[in-house]
């Protein structure tokens, strides 16, 4: 058996000296590492040398490279959580939500006979990677067209609706007002009970989820799309075929196992003694947010939005959202929030401009390791 060597991502005793830069620019979701370490035995997957060798998984499925155990696990998880309609829907597995959002945009634009590429928009502040993901190949099918709220053209468009939104955690609806033919892609990476109350079963034509933000296993590079229309599912499958001839079966196997462990816990299968995953992860994020709010309230120059309280159908309690990012706004005395954080506090943040808004805003990750998070609290307490 090969044991993957990887540093343990919880509190590993990392100490920061005041001159070290605290890098919270990325959204590496290591926060749940401590949980998975406790569960390490039941989550272990052994793959023998001769197994999983074929490109093919299930020739009868539209998504022919998807392992049936992975598809079953995804269906089981959505049944359990109640965050998305999954009956009579197609599932397309991808190498992360990153590949699937491109697959979705390809699928929705590939039939186009328009002389111009279709405009792809998202409301600002939008997920910072969309513009580059969409423009990387300078496609003739689609092009990035910026802030959806400003879209006024009478030309076909695709709006990406990210809800809860990255960077600001807000629950969103489509915003384009144009009369033109528009299509929607929902990026629901954070529509899980630890980040936000599950108020309804989402039921959109294309909904994208990712293992990265659901359980924190970003390194497995697994995402899935729930798709209503078979032709769209076929085209998305074709895109993944063309870009990577499928998705790692090792990763699918691991994801299916871990999702199975989460569901078993809720359905009392086996004897899992630890706290259930979403209870644990919500508790940790809530504790982090309570501490963050306290430090931010004490600063004069930084503010963070408050989130409304909703009843969560999954956890059966009312709560606010606990997003994976802290979206900070600096007051008038500070021109550039990112430079302030770096120069004054030695914290590396992602600048508002990357999300299509001004330099008064900056994003910090709240889902890093415990050591990083504690250091963040310490440094924020030194803000003016
Ligand atoms: N969409 C959103 C809104 C995200 O925040 C992220 C990850 N930061 C992704 C997509 C990409 O996820 P993945 O790791 O599955 O490619």
257-267 pLDDT, tens digit per residue, is: 999 999 999 99
Nearest atom, ligand 1, residue 97 CA: 15
pLDDT of 8 > 70? The answer is no
Expressed in angstroms and rounded, the spacing between residue 188 Cα and the centre of ligand 1 is 9
pLDDT digits (tens, 9 = 90+) for 283-302: 999 999 999 999 999 999 99
What pLDDT score was predicted for residue 12? 66
- Identify the structural domains of the chain with CATH numbers, from first to last: 22-38+276-380 (3.90.1150.10), 68-266 (3.40.640.10)
d(CA 281, CA 313): 17
Expressed in angstroms and rounded, the spacing between residue 268 Cα and the centre of ligand 1 is 31
DSSP 136: T
**∠ at Cα 378 (22, 296), nearest 5°?**
100
Residue 166 in contact with ligand 1 by CB distance below 6 A: yes
d(CA 218, CA 36): 13
3-state helix, strand, coil split of the chain in percent (to 5) is 35, 15, 45
CA-nearest residue for atom 2, ligand 1, is 189
Neighbours of 296 (CB within 10 A): 18
Residue 125 in contact with ligand 1 by CB distance below 6 A: no
**∠ at Cα 83 (81, 88), nearest 5°?**
100
* 207 in Cβ contact with 74 (< 8 Å): no
Give the residue among 94, 112, 214, 99 at the shortest CA–CA distance from 158: 112
pLDDT digits (tens, 9 = 90+) for 180-225: 999 999 999 999 999 999 999 999 999 999 999 999 999 999 999 9
Residue 104 in contact with ligand 1 by CB distance below 6 A: no
CA-nearest residue for atom 10, ligand 1, is 97
Residue 219 in contact with ligand 1 by CB distance below 6 A: no
Instruction: List Cβ neighbours of 323 (8 Å cut-off, separation of 6 or more).
Output: 164, 166, 168, 169, 190, 195, 196, 307, 366
Expressed in angstroms and rounded, the spacing between residue 190 Cα and the centre of ligand 1 is 9
Nearest atom, ligand 1, residue 223 CA: 15
Expressed in angstroms and rounded, the spacing between residue 66 Cα and the centre of ligand 1 is 20
* 163 in Cβ contact with 130 (< 8 Å): no
Residue 162 in contact with ligand 1 by CB distance below 6 A: yes
Residue 260 in contact with ligand 1 by CB distance below 6 A: no
Band of residue 112 on the pLDDT scale cut at 50, 70, 90: confident
Give the residue among 5, 23, 26, 3 at the shortest CA–CA distance from 14: 23
- Give the tokens for residue 71: 């598809």
Q: Mutate which of 26, 162, 166, 326 to test ligand 1's pocket (most atoms within 8 Å of Cβ)? A: 166
**pLDDT over 90 for what percent of the chain?**
90
Give the residue among 260, 239, 266 at the shortest CA–CA distance from 42: 260
pLDDT digits (tens, 9 = 90+) for 38-54: 999 999 999 999 999 99
pLDDT of 328 > 80? The answer is yes
Expressed in angstroms and rounded, the spacing between residue 202 Cα and the centre of ligand 1 is 18
pLDDT of 3 > 70? The answer is no
Taking residues 133-151, report their average pLDDT.
97
pLDDT of 251 > 90? The answer is yes
pLDDT of 13 > 80? The answer is no
d(CA 263, CA 77): 6
Nearest atom, ligand 1, residue 101 CA: 10
DSSP three-state, residue 162:
strand
Band of residue 6 on the pLDDT scale cut at 50, 70, 90: very low
pLDDT of 5 > 80? The answer is no
Taking residues 95-110, report their average pLDDT.
97
Q: Mutate which of 27, 28, 74, 96 to test ligand 1's pocket (most atoms within 8 Å of Cβ)? A: 96
What pLDDT score was predicted for residue 261? 96
pLDDT of 9 > 80? The answer is no
Question: What CA–CA distances, in Å, run from 56 to 35, 109, 168, 331?
Answer: 33, 27, 40, 55
Band of residue 115 on the pLDDT scale cut at 50, 70, 90: confident
Share the mean pLDDT of the chain: 95
pLDDT of 333 > 50? The answer is yes
């Amino acid at each position: 058996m090969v044991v993957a060597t990887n540093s343990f991502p919880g509190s590993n005793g990392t100490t920061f000296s005041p001159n070290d830069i605290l890098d919270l620019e990325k959204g590496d979701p290591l926060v749940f590492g401590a949980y998975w370490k406790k569960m390490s035995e039941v989550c272990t997957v052994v793959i023998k040398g001769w197994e999983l060798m074929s490109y093919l998984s299930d020739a009868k499925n539209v998504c022919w490279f998807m392992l049936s155990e992975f598809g079953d696990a995804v269906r089981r998880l959505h049944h359990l959580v109640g965050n998305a309609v999954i009956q009579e829907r197609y599932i397309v597995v991808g190498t992360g939500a990153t590949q699937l959002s491109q697959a979705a945009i390809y699928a929705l634009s590939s039939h186009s006979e328009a002389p111009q590429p279709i405009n792809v928009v998202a409301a600002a502040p939008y997920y910072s990677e969309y513009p580059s993901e969409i423009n990387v190949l300078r496609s003739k099918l689609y092009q990035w067209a910026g802030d959806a709220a400003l879209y006024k053209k009478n030309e076909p468009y695709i709006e990406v609706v990210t809800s809860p939104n990255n960077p600001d955690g807000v629950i969103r609806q489509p915003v384009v007002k144009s009369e033109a033919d528009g299509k929607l892609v929902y990026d629901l990476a954070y529509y899980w009970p630890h980040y936000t109350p599950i108020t309804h079963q989402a039921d959109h034509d294309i909904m994208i989820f990712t293992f990265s933000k659901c359980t924190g296993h970003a390194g497995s590079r697994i995402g899935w799309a729930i798709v209503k229309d078979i032709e769209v599912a076929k085209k998305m499958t074709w895109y993944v075929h063309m870009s990577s001839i499928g998705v790692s079966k090792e990763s699918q196997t691991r994801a299916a196992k871990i999702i199975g462990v989460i569901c078993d816990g809720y359905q009392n299968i086996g004897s899992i003694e630890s706290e259930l995953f979403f209870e644990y992860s919500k508790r940790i994020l809530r504790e982090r947010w309570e501490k963050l709010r306290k430090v931010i309230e004490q600063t004069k120059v930084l503010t963070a939005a408050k989130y409304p309280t909703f009843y969560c159908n999954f956890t059966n309690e009312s709560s606010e959202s606990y997003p994976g990012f802290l979206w900070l706004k600096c007051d008038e005395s500070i021109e550039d929030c990112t430079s302030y954080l770096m120069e004054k506090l030695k914290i590396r943040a992602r600048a508002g401009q990357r999300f299509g808004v001004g330099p008064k805003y900056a994003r910090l990750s709240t889902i890093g390791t415990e050591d990083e998070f504690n250091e963040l609290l310490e440094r924020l307490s030194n803000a003016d």
